[in-house]
A and B are shown apart, each in its own frame.
Chain A
Amino acid sequence: DQQVKQNSPSLSVQEGRISILNCDYTNSMFDYFLWYKKYPAEGPTFLISISSIKDKNEDGRFTVFLNKSAKHLSLHIVPSQPGDSAVYFCAASVISKAAGNKLTFGGGTRVLVKP
């Protein structure tokens, strides 16, 4: 049962343009949604998160939008830069003592930003 899904395995975008990454989830109990960026042979690094009670969070070039009714979130990167080329993972968490610190990840979207 894949609770978090990223339906686009890859995305190619021109430098300076907008990158839009999408993520769908099924578990309405998720409290937080996070985006991670990963380069090969490295661990994921945290990018940005959003609480389930908000619909938008912005941090520099990165903005995450949450549509709870559609169980959908997206990450916008504007403007895209060649250094943004990486695999992006969407993740979700349930904040509770029982759930601990478990993150449920999507399958990832490989982004290529062309100069």
Chain B
Amino acid sequence: KAGVTQTPRYLIKTRGQQVTLSCSPISGHRSVSWYQQTPGQGLQFLFEYFSETQRNKGNFPGRFSGRQFSNSRSEMNVSTLELGDSALYLCATGGGNTGELFFGEGSRLTVL
């Protein structure tokens, strides 16, 4: 079955702009989580959506937001971009009894 699909794979923005990233989960998976990976901070949890509702949220400012649609696809948005937002943004689905997540290949955001 198809894996987790993230678009776009790479993008470049300038400070102050906003960006929207998209994630299509594995078919049948209703949970979508987002993570940010930076060299200094490692992999950090942003938020999780389940059945169109935010179920859990990490410690990020309100500029980071997300949503989930009825087909389980999810988007995350970052407004008023800062240089420090440059990172690999990863989407994941799964969980279940062990917490195992399946990750997409990520969207590499560069903020200039």
Contacts and interface: CB of A to CB of B under 8 A. Distances in A.
A7 to B, nearest CB: 13
Nearest to B43: A105
Interface of B: 4, 31, 33, 35, 42-45, 48, 50, 55-56, 58, 88, 90, 92, 94-95, 97-106, 108
A46 B95 contact: no
B33 A102 contact: yes
A43 interface: yes
B67 to A, nearest CB: 16
Contacts, number: 81
Contacts of B48: 100-102
Given A34-B98, A100-B31, A45 B103 contact: yes
Contact of B56 (A43, A89, A102, A108): A102
Nearest to A42: B105
Contact of A105 (B31, B42, B94, B95): B42
Nearest to B44: A105
Given A32-B98, A95-B99, A103 B105 contact: no
23 contacts: A32-B98, A34-B99, A36-B103, A43-B90, A43-B103, A46-B100, A46-B102, A89-B42, A89-B43, A91-B43, A95-B97, A99-B56, A100-B33, A101-B48, A101-B56, A101-B101, A103-B33, A103-B92, A103-B99, A105-B35, A105-B42, A105-B44, A107-B42
Contacts of A43: 4, 90, 92, 103-106
Contacts of A107: 42
A44 B43 CA distance: 10
